[in-house]
Structure 1
Amino acid sequence: MTDYKRTLLTGAGGGVGTQLRKSETRLGQIVRLSDLKPSSDLAAHEEDYPLDLSDFDAVSEAVKGCDAIVHMGGHALEGPWKTVLDSNITGSYNIYEAARRHGVKRVVYASSVHAIGYYERTETIDGNVSTRPDSLYGVSKTFVENLGRYYFDKFGIETVSIRIGSCFPEPTDRRHLITWLSYRDCRQLVEKSLSAPRVGFMVAYGMSNNSEAFWDNRTAAVLGYKPQDSADDYREKVLAMTTQGDPNDPAVRFQGGSFVAAGHFEDSEK
Structure 2
Amino acid sequence: MSAAAPLVFITGASSGIGQALAARYAAAGWRLALVARRTEVVEAWARGQGWSGDRWRVYAADVQVIDSIVAAGQRCIAEQGLPDVVIANAGISVGIDTAEREDLDVLRETLATNNIGLAATFHPFLKAMRERRRGTLVGIASVAAIRGLPGHGAYCASKAGVVAYCESLRGECRGSGVQVVTVVPGYIATPLTAGNRYPMPFLMQPEVFADRAFRAIEAGTSYRVIPWQMGVVAKLMRVLPNWLFDRLLAGRGRKQRRTA
Question: Which TM-score tier does this pair reach, normalised by the shorter chain?
Answer: 0.5 to 0.7
On the 8 A contact 1:6/1:67 being kept in 2, the answer is yes
Post-superposition offset of 1:25 = 5.1
Q: Secondary structure at the match of 1:57?
A: helix
Post-superposition offset of 1:99 = 3.0
Post-superposition offset of 1:68 = 1.0
Aligned length: 214
Q: Secondary structure at the match of 2:23?
A: coil
What RMSD, in angstroms, separates the aligned Cα atoms of the two structures? 3.9
1:189-211 deviation digits (Å, cap 9, x = unpaired): 22112211x43xx222122779x
Q: TM-score, normalised by structure 1?
A: 0.64
What is the distance in 2 between the residues matched to 1:117 and 1:27? 35
On the 8 A contact 1:67/1:105 being kept in 2, the answer is yes
What is the distance in 2 between the residues matched to 1:23 and 1:215? 27
On the 8 A contact 1:113/1:163 being kept in 2, the answer is yes
Which of the residues 138, 146, 169 maps onto 1:108? Answer: 138
What is the distance in 2 between the residues matched to 1:141 and 1:174? 19
Ranges in structure 1 where 5+ consecutive residues have no aligned partner:
120-131, 217-247
Ranges in structure 2 where 5+ consecutive residues have no aligned partner:
97-105, 236-243
- Within the alignment, does 1:193 sit opposite 2:237 as a pair? no
Equivalent residue for 2:179?
A: 158
On the 8 A contact 1:7/1:28 being kept in 2, the answer is no
Equivalent residue for 1:40?
A: 43
Higher helix share: 2
Post-superposition offset of 1:74 = 2.1
What is the distance in 2 between the residues matched to 1:142 and 1:175? 21
User: Counterpart amino acid of 1:253?
Assistant: L
Post-superposition offset of 1:92 = 1.1
Equivalent residue for 1:214?
A: 233
Q: Secondary structure at the match of 2:127?
A: helix
On the 8 A contact 1:69/1:106 being kept in 2, the answer is yes
Equivalent residue for 2:239?
A: none
Post-superposition offset of 1:47 = 0.8
On the 8 A contact 1:5/1:29 being kept in 2, the answer is yes
% same residue: 14
On the 8 A contact 1:12/1:33 being kept in 2, the answer is yes
Moved over 6 A (4+): 169-174
1:198-242 deviation digits (Å, cap 9, x = unpaired): 43xx222122779x95156xxxxxxxxxxxxxxxxxxxxxxxxxx
Q: Flag the 1:53–1:142 CA change in 2: closer, same or farther, 3 A.
A: same
Equivalent residue for 1:73?
A: 90
Post-superposition offset of 1:6 = 1.2
Q: Flag the 1:249–1:205 CA change in 2: closer, same or farther, 3 A.
A: closer
User: Counterpart amino acid of 1:141?
Assistant: K
- Within the alignment, does 1:59 sit opposite 2:59 as a pair? no
